[in-house]
Amino acid sequence: MKKQPEVTAQTKQNLIDAFWSLYCEKRIEKITVKEITQKAGYNRGTFYEYFTDVYDVLEQIEEALIPAVHELPPISIPNQNMEIPLDMFMALYEQNSKYYSVLLGDNGDPAFASKLKNSTKPVIKQVFLEKHNVDPIEFDFILEFVLSAMIGVMSYWFSQNKILPAKDLISLMYDLMENGVKKRVQSNITNS
C-alpha cells in the first residue's frame, strides 16, 4: 500500500513544526524524540520514517533555509562602487525571519551563520572579482567581515522588533561600510 504524497508531506511538516516550537523554547540537546512525537500526535516509529534524530530535523530545516547558489537573485554592479547588495540579504532574512531570528539568536545554532555566509560568498566573490582587480585572499576576509556584520546587525534588528525602519537600517549599514564606524560616531557626536 502506497502512502499519499500530500499526507506524507503533511506528516513530516507536522513533525518539523512540533520540533520547531520546542526549539524556540529550549536548546536542541534538551529536546527528545518523545517530546516531538507527543506534540505532533504521532508515534516514534513515524518520526524515524523521516528523521534519524533531533539533529537531523534541525539539519533539514537549515538546509531548506540556506539558499542554493542558483536560488540567489543575480547580483550586478551598476557602477564602479563595490557595494554589497544589502537589500538582497534583507529580503532573504525577512522571508525566513521566523527561523533566522531563532537560528541566529543566542540559543540558536552557531554553525548556521557560517552556512548562510558560505552559501552567499561564492556568488558575491564571482561578481566582484570579475569586475574589479582585487586580491582574492584579502577580498575573502573583507567579505567575511561584511557578511558577519550584516548577519549580526540583522539578527539584532529582529531581536529589537525592527525598531529602525528597514530602509534606514540598510542606509546605516551602507554608511558604515563606506565611511566606517569612527566617522559615523563622530558625526553623531557633532550633530547632538
Low-confidence ranges of the chain (pLDDT < 50): 1, 76-80, 82
Three cell numbers at 190?
557633532
Q: What are phi and psi of 85, to 5 degrees?
A: -75, 80
Residue at 34: amino acid letter? K
Check residue 136 and give its pLDDT.
Answer: 84
Check residue 66 and give its pLDDT.
Answer: 84
Check residue 92 and give its pLDDT.
Answer: 78
Check residue 56 and give its pLDDT.
Answer: 97
Q: Which tens digits make up the pLDDT trace of 104-130?
A: 888 788 899 888 888 888 877 877 777
The candidate with the shortest Cα–Cα distance to 104, out of 120, 116, 92, 91, is 116
Report the C-alpha dihedral over residues 155, 159, 160, 161, rounded to 10 degrees.
100
Check residue 78 and give its pLDDT.
Answer: 47
pTM: predicted TM-score of the whole model, two decimal places: 0.77
Check residue 119 and give its pLDDT.
Answer: 83
| DSSP symbols for 79-138 | SS-----HHHHHHHHHHTHHHHHHHTSTTS-HHHHHHHHHHHHHHHHHHHHHHS---HHH
Q: Distance between CA atoms of 126 and 65, rounded to whole angstroms?
A: 22
Instruction: Give the homologous superfamily in CATH for domain 5-64.
Output: Tetracycline Repressor, domain 2 (1.10.357.10)
Q: Which tens digits make up the pLDDT trace of 3-14?
A: 677 778 899 999
Neighbours of 22 (CB within 10 A): 19
| Structural domain boundaries in the chain | 5-64, 66-191
